[in-house]
Structure 1
């Protein structure tokens, strides 16, 4: 199974964009913008409620602007009267003040102790950005972080599984080579010891294949099911429709003689398929 070519990670940018849209819709915050870290900087790539394209020219590094401050302290922070704030640098005044923003808050997207991105909430006009809106901003940043963490873990497990499967293929080739050596050996004792060694290494099956064959797609679906994901998440991960996922799952269940998805995972493992790594 090729993780790079067949298992598609959903767009992280789309996750951030959808979160920004939802936050603005639910809270009524006038403008929300966000970005994810790439190559040591966080560039704003998503914005809703903007009046100009200037917000998407912001590229944050540690200590630059409100975002840079938050990058360092990893805490949601609200700045009132942005234009006169003394606790931040004003590297991005042209963009922020150009949008008419008076109050600005930002929340870090923190995954395993590392800042992976920022989500901003800006208030323009009368009144202020209230505590409830800031709390909602922090919650949404936490949700994005949790989803990124899940995606990272799925990628790690699938990558590790692909590596293991490759190692198993190589091991099977080595066992076949030992069998070949045993077959041509003129010494009966050497031949017996070599074949015993193959059996001890788990190579009793001449081909080294699982007892019930499954297609690569069926294995991909079962691997994600084994990780606890529902059909919708599996479909998103593999770039398939939910109905197609169900089709692959049903086909695997028929081959395995399983009556439900849990039993299919158990029987696939029993047949010799590696579906996950702890």
Structure 2
């Protein structure tokens, strides 16, 4: 294992800060990716020996390498005794006194930037519930603002003005087909966005699902990122679409943004 200098990535820095603040975590650090085939440890918080800073090896090796290869969270209750990972870093991990370790992929939008680790200086079964909370904390810390929706978003005053223009223009249009098209457009514009009242407000999970959909992700990718089943994602999305009176995913995202529920 080569000893190398670490770089700096704001997404990884924020992810490490978020993990370091979790209750049971004694040490937090991250793996950056100098190339698609290698990763490098750095961004140390709570370290004692400094034995792990700058270690580099191949994607697929160790716990973090496996997380990068599979692109999903993983945890071990006792690193040195776990049979499911390679053990290149055992000596360095032992020097820090670490036992339970978890790692999560860190993304900027759709780009995999590396992995963030949390470690505990005693054996501990962290469990799926803890991993979910860690994923949420890291996602909140590294969230990338979704790009604006394609096309133009009109305010209610602008829609009213456009309707007046269409109504005034229609009688002067000689072509019946064009008038029919104007009528269809007018009927679509004349249906206002729903008011998001307290009883119809989206739940936090519905917003979370819709927020990932807004990044252009399909159901399978949403499920993978949120650690949900595809059927559960479909259920949350269907509920959100009903509350937003939407017929498509993109329409639901558009209306959620218009209502100020999504960036």
Please, what TM-score do these two structures have when normalized by structure 1?
0.44
More helix by share: 1
Larger radius of gyration: 1
The alignment's TM-score, normalised by the length of structure 2, stands at: 0.46
